[in-house]
Amino acid sequence: MSDVADYPWFGSRWERVMEQRQHGRLPHALLLSGPAGIGKAEFAEALGNLLLCHNPKGNKPCDHCHSCELRIAGHHPDRFQLRPEAQGKPIKVDQVRELIDRLHSTAQQGGYRIVTLEPAESLNTSSANALLKILEEPGEDTLLILISHQPGQLMPTIRSRCQRIDFAIPSPDEAAQWLTQSLELEPAKASQLLGLAHGAPLRARDLYQSDAMDQRKLLMTGLADLLRGRTSASELATKLGKADLLNCLDWLASLLNDVVRMQMTGSDEPRVNADMRRMLEAVAKQTSRVRIFSLADRIQEERVSLMLRQNPNRQLLLETLLLQWSALVR
């Protein structure tokens, strides 16, 4: 899935880079920025595939030359990936130094060298400073592709050395059409997935193709049971033992958004969580804005600290939020 034509919302971004390539004017470093889940990594992959190829057909790799064979086999010596060793961790200065060593010590296969770094906001001060050295002198035919979901967090000296390509969330219609077609979904299902993914089509696709929606269902059923007194917060927290915490926080926040919207507009149709209409209707009728915002704030705080902490106490975190959820209607 790295054919840019698969993602119509890229618009003319690809053509502009192709034009630079044809005129031999590609920059040393690109910064692909925009929200997560809209295809920046796929764009980077497609560009890397093309530049590594020795015999491209127009703007596509041939898939047959020695270089393409190495790439397809998954171990091209001129392709480098820099990522945090674990989610939420920084990209360490040692990782950047190792990359620099490898760039200096290995011979190129006669084409480009591609370094992809994702997410660039995971660079801390020392690794960013180390990276500046390659950004200043990347060597011939080397392209660094930085991918950032939050470019505002990057050091200005990093940003200013890259040519920036900004990506945006496609229009709801375009995203829904794409998702409906690529997954052969009912429009209502596609629109719910997009709502849960904040409009990002690839994130919506990942939600559908992973077991995330099963986990969501577990949470939703549990939340309804909790309000009816059929389960306890600690029981439900245990049940959610394997669920992704950030997803759970996101889904809770999405429910609260729906409740507020229903209260404000007097509508009985949740915008995103249509499958939980009855539960949300009841909550909207019985709870106060103060309780909703207090829980929403709490969720946001937990989200921020989850990004910073390595080993949260899941059970305690979930239990606290679930208790507060059940207190919405009391």
Residues making contact with Zn ion (CB under 5 A): 53, 55, 61-62, 65, 68
Place of tokens 């009855």: 278
To the nearest whole angstrom, how small is the minimum distance from the Cβ of residue 2 to Zn ion?
Answer: 14
CA-CA distance, 2 to 61, in Å (whole number)?
11
Of 61 and 170, which has the nearer Cβ to Zn ion?
Answer: 61
To the nearest whole angstrom, how small is the minimum distance from the Cβ of residue 61 to Zn ion?
Answer: 5
Distance of CA 190 to the CA centre of its chain: 18
Of 65 and 93, which has the nearer Cβ to Zn ion?
Answer: 65
Question: Where on the phi/psi map is residue 185: left (φ > 0), alpha (ψ -120 to 50), or beta?
Answer: beta
To the nearest whole angstrom, how small is the minimum distance from the Cβ of residue 49 to Zn ion?
Answer: 8
Of 68 and 200, which has the nearer Cβ to Zn ion?
Answer: 68
Cβ contacts of 221 within 8 Å, gap of 6 or more = none
Of 109 and 320, which has the nearer Cβ to Zn ion?
Answer: 109
CA-CA distance, 91 to 86, in Å (whole number)?
9
Q: What does the longest C-alpha to C-alpha distance in the chain come to?
A: 69
To the nearest whole angstrom, how small is the minimum distance from the Cβ of residue 39 to Zn ion?
Answer: 23
Q: DSSP character for 107?
A: P
Question: Where on the phi/psi map is residue 199: left (φ > 0), alpha (ψ -120 to 50), or beta?
Answer: left
Q: DSSP character for 111?
A: S
Tokens of 207: 């939600």
Between strands 142-148 and 29-33, the pairing is parallel
For the chain, the C-alpha Rg in angstroms (whole number) is 23
Of 53 and 233, which has the nearer Cβ to Zn ion?
Answer: 53
Cα torsion angle, 144, 45, 33, 35, sign: negative
Of 58 and 152, which has the nearer Cβ to Zn ion?
Answer: 58
Of 57 and 285, which has the nearer Cβ to Zn ion?
Answer: 57
To the nearest whole angstrom, how small is the minimum distance from the Cβ of residue 57 to Zn ion?
Answer: 8
Closest CA to 163 of 134, 135, 121, 126: 135
Tokens of 130: 């180390």
Cα–Cα distances (Å) from 228 to 282, 293, 326, in that order, read: 11, 22, 9
Task: Give the up-direction half-sphere exposure of residue 82: CA atoms within 13 A in the CB hemisphere.
Answer: 30
Cβ contacts of 20 within 8 Å, gap of 6 or more = 26, 27
To the nearest whole angstrom, how small is the minimum distance from the Cβ of residue 111 to Zn ion?
Answer: 9
Of 55 and 313, which has the nearer Cβ to Zn ion?
Answer: 55
Of 68 and 318, which has the nearer Cβ to Zn ion?
Answer: 68
